């Protein structure tokens, strides 16, 4: 069980603000790691740096020992990192199935002329991709069955849109899945279901790094938790260790309350 | 090139630049607030010019009038050239733009193009397709001696009046309540609304100011050139837009700077031998080569994490820059390459392209000796400036005030 | 209320009929149309209107790739049409006494236009949609002004006259065949020089283009374009190389314009810079907006309506040409504004066609309509 993802002293600043400050951590194979921290602590920026939306100012990011820092997002995706977004970013007027198929873009090979002529090779590839996309959608039983697949993604319920985003990220069978607040805005029953699904993904062999605010979910699924504040890693370990770390409590509740607690 | 030539060309460039600036301010303010290119702004300008000419025409303004009456007529024309565009601009905003707020960028732009066509056809329907001409005024052609050069008084009036209007605008935006509202709205419309700013009103006001300035510009063009055609708004609009982008769109002083730079470039571009620029191009090329061969690799080397720093790795990064066409293409085509190498390769290719372009331009200059641009290529200069600035530095000379991510 | 219900039931019937029936029906009508001319119902002038409508349909199909599928605005589209037309005119006219074969020029025109598309697209596609629109506009004007300012090559504003009539089988074979005693009715088709012949030539080209583009739309490439249109950030994060996909769409659309330009040059016999002014680009944009961005049947309909309808109206009103032109453009402008505000999905929206198999849920259509054109500026994800 080696490290799939390694961050080595990654820093990223905007103007004078150090959003991420020499951050280092590993994610091991088939592990679920959660990043927690108050708003503005640099969690999403970390995701953006890993997924290639930003080039880090310094430090390196290794995927299976190979540097991916500064690669374009599409190349990072090709290398095996796919992600979801905190504020849903689906292709809302495209169908549910098409959304998943876009996630499989890098799996396809069809080029311009064969696609225009719809050659047998293209048809075969398309059929394979479609079948695979349906398999992925079937991982969410009852949510995307039958006619729902040709509905526009924008017409789905909020929870289903979140699920579809996960499905789209899974479509490329990534080495590492980045989930940015997968249960944000869901009710307890729905978030419980997502939790189960994350467990299933782990059993299916996926490695997941996620940002989450819902502590029940963090507690329920994480093998390891990393707490961040002001761009710095302030604690790392099991959920219990991190949750009871005084610095984490301080970051969430402020200095005074820790004084009162002690 | 003699001194008086320089003076007259400079004054000419400044006058044209000031007229562009008046129109450019409308583009830049609307873009600053709404992030939207008001494509119909050029037509608003044309309407201003037509209305002004029409007013003077119907008042029977001519040189035989007593000077005071003539001044009165001119003032009336100015008022008309402000009032009609203001009403029109507000109407257009209300009808064609306001319902589209929040839609994706190209949707309001399409609407603006539609409006532009409609306005142009309306000008033809109201005033006819033949260019409107001004009765010739003594005032318009009176000239004075400046440094031994005959300069049209009108040019000086245009420069002075435009400068005055721009100062007033700066005061308006910086120091008044409505100006503060404009700035707030342009920063963050939602937040401004929550702070109790009536954004609809503020936006409407932005259109009022922009249209008024464009109308004044219309009057000036009519007086200065003596005629205006129904489709003039297209070219003037584009030139003004170029000026706005040149200075940094959304940036009010930027629009003025950009307009003056564009006016000068245009006037100088067609009236002097550009051969003297050859050495500047060569200097640019030297600088470009220095960046590619020395600075850029150095900077990139500093990105290597300490534990991966090997002489061999450093050599390959430097090599990517030095032998860009060969080594960078090879790196770009390799399926699994190191991130730093791959980023360097893209960068190196871009630098090489730039340097090849500079070398080509330098070659043209040295082979031809003297480079003169014919007047009929003048609009092309503007379009080339526009394309180049948008491609290489979309934020303009002074930077757009709205920083955009992604 | 009653009217609305009636309209809805008509719509329901309309969408129940399978799509193939419409396609075949339209093709049959299109094929049959010139025959009305043969029996004397329709004047030859109308065949000419038909040819021009089809040429514009071709342009609209090409522009739709960029505008509808990829969500970029190209305001200098007519420049690529000009590249095709001038390539053909220069290589198949007495101007340089060159008479290259039809098929070669058809391909070459498309290739040259594609090369032009490549060189404009490469540096500009990083730009945001509205900036791109202006850059392409500037490019279109540069091309037009260059044509005017280089009389030694292009004859300047006078244009290039006497372009040869196309011989699909090539010079030599055609001449040999003309010398044989083939029936006269067959010989007519060896040299395409009558409106009816052009009509069928262009019709075939439009039909093939539409078919190929429909295939493309439902492929991996088409989906990548649509994803970029919907949300570029999400698309690149899903592994789509934005620059390559956008460049492909710009180049392909330029190629179609070049192809159409070649046909146009042959058909009109004389070409001049007047045919390639900015307004022409805008007219094609109007067609795409009216028909429905992203909808292949839509943009063809848009092109035919905007090209043929004004002619019909003019014919029946008997208005003078110049005055009529003013009203025509006025109405085009109004159409764009009204469509964009009230029916941004166009006359024949793509969405409803695709979901013909299912009972359309009105709520769903409404939300699709909104989401299709409401861009979530959502930069939230990029905030610290």
Bridge partners (DSSP) of residue B145 are B150
Cβ burial, residue C211 (10 Å; 0-12/13-18/19+):
middle
- Please indicate whether residue B343 or residue C64 has the higher confidence score (pLDDT): C64
At C354, the pLDDT band (50, 70, 90 cuts) reads very low
At C1, the pLDDT band (50, 70, 90 cuts) reads low
Judged by a CB distance cut-off of 8 A, whether residue C379 touches chain A is no
Instruction: Judge whether residue A12 has pLDDT over 80.
Output: yes
pLDDT at B195 (0 to 100): 87
In chain C, what residues touch A126 (CB-CB under 8 Å)? 219-220
User: pLDDT of B351-378, one tens digit each?
Assistant: 888 899 889 988 888 887 777 778 888 8
Q: Residue B339 and residue A68: Cβ atoms within 8 Å?
A: yes
Q: Please state, in angstroms and rounded to a whole number, the distance separating the CA atoms of residues C246 and C369.
A: 24
| Minimum CA–CA partner of B99 in chain C | C341
At B38, the pLDDT band (50, 70, 90 cuts) reads very high
Instruction: Judge whether residue B402 has pLDDT over 50.
Output: no
Residue A8, helix vs strand vs coil: strand
pLDDT at A258 (0 to 100): 45
**Contact partners, residue A82, CB within 8 Å, separation at least 6:** A51, A103, A169, A170, A171, A172, A174, A176, A177, A178, C237, C238, C239
What beta strand segments (E) does chain A contain?
3-14, 17-28, 32-36, 58-63, 66-67, 81-83, 176-180, 207-211, 224-229, 232-237
For chain C, give the percent of residues with pLDDT over 70.
Answer: 90
| Minimum CA–CA partner of C71 in chain B | B106
Q: Please state, in angstroms and rounded to a whole number, the distance separating the CA atoms of residues A61 and B73.
A: 72
Taking residues B165-189, report their average pLDDT: 88
User: pLDDT of C148-157, one tens digit each?
Assistant: 999 888 888 9
Element (H, E) at C259: helix C242-268
Taking residues C232-253, report their average pLDDT: 93
User: pLDDT of A25-40, one tens digit each?
Assistant: 999 999 999 999 988 8
Contact between C110 and C259 (Cβ < 8 Å): yes
Mutate to test the interface with B, among A67, A73, A77, A92 (most CBs of B within 10 A): A67
| Minimum CA–CA partner of A66 in chain B | B338
Most confident range, picked from B220-229, C254-263, C323-332, C346-355 = C254-263
In chain B, what residues touch A55 (CB-CB under 8 Å)? 343
Q: Phi/psi class of residue A148: alpha, beta or left (left: φ > 0; alpha: ψ in -120 to 50)? A: alpha
Helical axes B378-392 vs C102-124, angle rounded to 10°: 60
Q: Please state, in angstroms and rounded to a whole number, the distance separating the CA atoms of residues A234 and B181.
A: 42
Upper half-sphere CA count for residue C40 (Cβ side, 13 Å): 0
Instruction: Judge whether residue C250 has pLDDT over 70.
Output: yes
Instruction: Judge whether residue B386 has pLDDT over 90.
Output: no
Lowest mean pLDDT among B91-95, B307-311, C323-327: B307-311
Instruction: Judge whether residue C353 has pLDDT over 70.
Output: no
Closest Cα in chain A, distance from residue C299 (Å) = 19
Give me the residue label for tokens 């009010």: B252
C215 token code pair: 């295939």
| Minimum CA–CA partner of B374 in chain C | C149
Selected residues 149-168 of chain A with any CB under 8 Å from a CB in chain C: 150-152, 154-155, 168
The chain-wide mean pLDDT, for chain B, equals: 86
Taking residues C183-211, report their average pLDDT: 88
Judged by a CB distance cut-off of 8 A, whether residue C377 touches chain A is no
- Please indicate whether residue C228 or residue C170 has the higher confidence score (pLDDT): C228
pLDDT at B400 (0 to 100): 65
Size of interface B-C (CB pairs under 8 A): 142
pLDDT at C368 (0 to 100): 41
pLDDT at B248 (0 to 100): 87
Q: Residue A112 and residue C221: Cβ atoms within 8 Å?
A: yes
The chain-wide mean pLDDT, for chain C, equals: 85
Instruction: Judge whether residue A148 has pLDDT over 50.
Output: yes
Would you tell me how many other CB atoms lie within 10 Å of the CB of residue B158? 24
Judged by a CB distance cut-off of 8 A, whether residue C378 touches chain A is yes
pLDDT at A256 (0 to 100): 53
At C165, the pLDDT band (50, 70, 90 cuts) reads confident
User: pLDDT of A179-191, one tens digit each?
Assistant: 999 988 888 888 8
Q: For residue A133, give Cα distances in angstroms to A121, A127, C174, C358, C365.
A: 18, 10, 53, 20, 24
Q: Residue B343 and residue A66: Cβ atoms within 8 Å?
A: no
Q: Residue B339 and residue A67: Cβ atoms within 8 Å?
A: yes
Of B263, B230, B335, the closest CA to residue B14 belongs to B263
In chain A, what residues touch B339 (CB-CB under 8 Å)? 67-71
User: pLDDT of B211-254, one tens digit each?
Assistant: 999 999 999 999 888 889 998 999 999 999 999 999 888 888 88
Size of interface A-C (CB pairs under 8 A): 152
Q: Residue B129 and residue C278: Cβ atoms within 8 Å?
A: no
pLDDT at C136 (0 to 100): 92
In chain B, what residues touch A66 (CB-CB under 8 Å)? 336, 338
Judged by a CB distance cut-off of 8 A, whether residue C242 touches chain B is no
- Which of C252, C358, C382 has its CB closest to that of A53? C382
pLDDT at B134 (0 to 100): 77
Q: Residue C216 and residue A91: Cβ atoms within 8 Å?
A: no
pLDDT at C380 (0 to 100): 38
A80 token code pair: 């095996």
Taking residues C224-248, report their average pLDDT: 92
B/e letters for B99-117, b = 16+ CB within 10 Å, e = fewer, are: ebeebbbbbbbbbbbbbbb
Closest Cα in chain B, distance from residue A251 (Å) = 27
Mutate to test the interface with B, among C340, C369, C370, C376 (most CBs of B within 10 A): C340
At C262, the pLDDT band (50, 70, 90 cuts) reads very high
Q: Residue A117 and residue C212: Cβ atoms within 8 Å?
A: yes
Judged by a CB distance cut-off of 8 A, whether residue A191 touches chain C is no
Closest Cα in chain B, distance from residue A209 (Å) = 21
**Contact partners, residue C369, CB within 8 Å, separation at least 6:** C344, C345
pLDDT at A255 (0 to 100): 60
Using CB atoms, list chains with 3+ pairs below 8 Å to chain C: A, B
User: pLDDT of C96-149, one tens digit each?
Assistant: 888 888 999 999 999 999 999 998 888 888 787 788 888 899 999 999 999 999
B/e letters for B306-321, b = 16+ CB within 10 Å, e = fewer, are: eeeeeeeeeebbbbbb
Q: Residue C367 and residue A122: Cβ atoms within 8 Å?
A: no
Judged by a CB distance cut-off of 8 A, whether residue C135 touches chain B is yes
pLDDT at C322 (0 to 100): 72
Closest Cα in chain C, distance from residue A206 (Å) = 17
Q: Residue B238 and residue C146: Cβ atoms within 8 Å?
A: no
- Which of B114, B120, B380 has its CB closest to that of C337? B114
Angle made by CA atoms B122, B124, B127, in degrees to the nearest 5: 100
Q: Residue C137 and residue B374: Cβ atoms within 8 Å?
A: no
Model confidence pTM above 0.95: no
Contact between C194 and C51 (Cβ < 8 Å): no
pLDDT at C359 (0 to 100): 37
Lowest mean pLDDT among A78-82, B139-143, C7-11: B139-143
pLDDT at C319 (0 to 100): 66
| Minimum CA–CA partner of A86 in chain C | C381
Instruction: Judge whether residue A92 has pLDDT over 90.
Output: no
Q: Residue A67 and residue B343: Cβ atoms within 8 Å?
A: no
pLDDT at A261 (0 to 100): 43
Judged by a CB distance cut-off of 8 A, whether residue C356 touches chain A is no
Q: Residue C334 and residue B118: Cβ atoms within 8 Å?
A: yes
User: pLDDT of C63-81, one tens digit each?
Assistant: 999 999 998 999 999 999 9
Angle made by CA atoms B143, B146, B151, in degrees to the nearest 5: 30
Residue A227, helix vs strand vs coil: strand
| Minimum CA–CA partner of C230 in chain B | B104
Judged by a CB distance cut-off of 8 A, whether residue A93 touches chain C is yes
Q: Residue B339 and residue A58: Cβ atoms within 8 Å?
A: no
Selected residues 57-76 of chain A with any CB under 8 Å from a CB in chain B: 58-60, 66-71, 75
Q: Residue C129 and residue B405: Cβ atoms within 8 Å?
A: no
Classify the C-alpha dihedral B208-B214-B215-B220 as positive or negative.
positive
User: Nearest 5°: phi and psi at A86?
Assistant: -65, -50
In chain C, what residues touch B387 (CB-CB under 8 Å)? 124, 135, 138-139, 142
Q: Residue A67 and residue B340: Cβ atoms within 8 Å?
A: yes
- Which of C220, C230, C361 has its CB closest to that of A92? C230
Taking residues C324-346, report their average pLDDT: 90
Lowest mean pLDDT among A4-8, C70-74, C310-314: C310-314
User: pLDDT of A95-104, one tens digit each?
Assistant: 999 999 999 9
């Amino acid at each position: 069980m080696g490290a799939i993802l390694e961050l080595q002293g990654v820093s990223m600043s905007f103007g004078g603000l150090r959003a991420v400050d020499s951050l280092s951590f590993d994610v091991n194979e088939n592990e679920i790691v959660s990043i927690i921290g108050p708003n503005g602590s640099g969690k999403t920026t970390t995701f953006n740096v890993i997924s290639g939306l930003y080039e880090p100012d310094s430090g390196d990011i290794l995927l299976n020992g190979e540097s991916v820092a500064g690669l374009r997002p599409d190349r990072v995706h090709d290398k095996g990192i796919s992600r979801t977004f905190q504020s849903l970013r689906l292709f809302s007027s495209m169908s549910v199935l098409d959304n998943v198929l876009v996630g499989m873009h890098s799996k396809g090979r069809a080029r311009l002329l064969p696609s225009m002529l719809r050659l047998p090779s293209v048809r075969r590839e398309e059929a394979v991709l479609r079948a695979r996309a349906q398999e992925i959608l079937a991982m969410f039983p009852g949510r995307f069955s039958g006619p729902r697949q040709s509905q526009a993604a924008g017409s789905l319920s909020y929870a289903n849109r979140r699920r579809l985003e996960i499905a789209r990220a899974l479509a490329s069978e990534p080495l590492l899945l980045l989930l940015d607040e997968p249960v944000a805005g869901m009710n307890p029953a729905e978030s419980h279901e997502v939790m189960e699904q994350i467990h299933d993904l782990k059993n299916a062999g996926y490695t997941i790094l996620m940002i989450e605010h819902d502590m029940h979910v963090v507690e329920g699924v994480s093998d390891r938790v990393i707490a961040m504040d002001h761009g710095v890693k302030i604690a790392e370990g099991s959920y219990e260790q991190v949750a009871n770390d005084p610095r984490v409590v301080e970051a969430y509740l402020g200095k005074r309350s820790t004084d009162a607690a002690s | 090139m003699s001194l008086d030539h320089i003076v007259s060309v400079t004054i000419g460039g400044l006058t044209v630049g000031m007229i562009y600036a008046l129109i450019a301010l409308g583009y830049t303010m609307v873009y600053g607030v709404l992030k939207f290119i008001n494509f119909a702004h050029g037509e608003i300008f044309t309407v201003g010019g037509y209305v002004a000419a029409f007013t003077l025409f119907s008042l029977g303004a001519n040189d035989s009038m007593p000077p005071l009456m003539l001044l009165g007529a001119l003032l009336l024309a100015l008022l008309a050239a402000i009032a009609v565009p203001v009403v029109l601009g507000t109407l257009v905003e209300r009808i064609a733009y306001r319902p589209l707020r929040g839609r994706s960028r190209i949707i309001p732009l399409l609407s603006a193009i539609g409006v532009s066509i409609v306005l142009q056809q309306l000008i033809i329907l109201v005033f006819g397709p033949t260019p409107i001409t001004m009765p010739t005024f003594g005032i318009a052609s009176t000239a004075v001696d400046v440094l031994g050069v005959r300069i049209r008084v009108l040019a000086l009036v245009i420069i002075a009046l435009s400068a005055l209007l721009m100062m007033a605008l700066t005061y308006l935006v910086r120091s008044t309540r409505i100006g503060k509202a404009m700035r707030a709205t342009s920063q963050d419309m939602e937040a401004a609304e929550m702070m109790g700013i009536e954004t609809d009103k503020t936006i409407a006001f932005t259109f009022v100011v922009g249209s008024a300035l464009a109308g004044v510009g219309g009057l000036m063009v009519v007086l200065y050139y003596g005629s205006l055609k129904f489709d003039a708004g297209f070219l003037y609009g584009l030139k003004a837009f170029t000026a706005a982008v040149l200075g940094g769109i959304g940036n009010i002083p930027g629009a003025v700077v950009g307009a003056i730079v564009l006016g000068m470039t245009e006037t100088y571009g067609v009236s002097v031998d550009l051969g003297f620029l050859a050495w500047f191009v060569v200097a640019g090329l030297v600088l470009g080569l220095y960046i590619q061969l020395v600075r850029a690799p150095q900077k990139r080397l500093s990105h290597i994490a300490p534990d991966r720093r090997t002489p061999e790795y450093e050599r390959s990064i430097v090599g990517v820059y030095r032998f860009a066409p060969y080594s960078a293409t090879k790196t770009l085509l390799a399926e699994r390459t190191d991130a730093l190498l791959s980023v360097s390769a893209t960068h190196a290719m871009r630098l090489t392209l730039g340097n090849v372009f500079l070398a080509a331009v330098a070659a043209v200059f040295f082979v031809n000796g003297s480079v003169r641009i014919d007047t009929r290529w003048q609009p092309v200069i503007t379009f080339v400036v526009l394309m180049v600035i948008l491609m290489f530095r979309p934020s303009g000379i002074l930077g757009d005030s709205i920083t955009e991510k992604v | 209320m009653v009217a609305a219900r009636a309209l809805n039931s008509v719509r329901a019937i309309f969408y129940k009929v399978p799509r193939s029936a419409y396609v075949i029906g339209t093709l049959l009508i299109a094929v049959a149309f010139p025959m009305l001319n043969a029996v004397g119902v329709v004047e030859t002038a109308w065949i000419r209107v038909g040819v021009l409508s089809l040429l514009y349909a071709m342009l609209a199909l090409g522009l739709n790739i960029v505008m509808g599928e990829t969500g970029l605005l190209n305001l200098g589209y007519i420049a690529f049409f000009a590249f095709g037309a001038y390539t053909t005119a220069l290589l198949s006219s007495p101007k340089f006494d060159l008479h290259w074969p039809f098929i070669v020029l058809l391909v070459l025109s498309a290739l040259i236009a594609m090369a032009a598309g490549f060189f404009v697209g490469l540096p500009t596609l990083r730009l945001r949609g509205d900036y791109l629109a202006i850059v392409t506009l500037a490019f279109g004007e540069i091309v037009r002004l260059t044509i005017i300012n280089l009389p030694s090559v292009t004859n300047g504003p006078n244009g290039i006259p006497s372009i040869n009539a196309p011989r699909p089988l090539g010079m030599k074979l055609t001449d040999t065949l003309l010398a044989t005693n083939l029936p006269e009715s067959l010989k007519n088709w060896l040299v395409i020089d009558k409106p009816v012949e052009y009509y069928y030539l262009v019709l075939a080209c439009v039909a093939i283009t539409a078919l190929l583009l429909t295939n493309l739309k439902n492929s991996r490439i088409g989906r990548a374009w649509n994803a970029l249109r919907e949300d570029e950030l999400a698309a690149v994060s899903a592994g789509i190389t934005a620059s390559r996909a956008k460049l492909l769409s710009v180049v392909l659309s330029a190629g179609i314009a070049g192809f159409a330009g070649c046909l146009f040059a042959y058909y009109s016999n004389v070409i001049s810079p007047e045919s390639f002014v900015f307004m022409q680009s805008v007219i094609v944009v109007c067609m795409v907006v009216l028909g429905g961005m992203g909808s292949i049947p839509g943009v063809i309909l848009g092109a035919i309506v905007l090209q043929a309808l004004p002619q019909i109206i003019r014919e029946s009103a008997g208005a003078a040409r110049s005055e009529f032109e003013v009203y025509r453009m006025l109405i085009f402008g109004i159409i764009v504004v009204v469509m964009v505000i009230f029916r941004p999905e166009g006359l024949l929206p793509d969405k409803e066609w695709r979901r013909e198999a299912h009972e359309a849920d009105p709520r769903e259509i409404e939300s699709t309509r909104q989401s299709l054109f409401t861009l979530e500026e959502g930069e939230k994800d990029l905030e610290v």
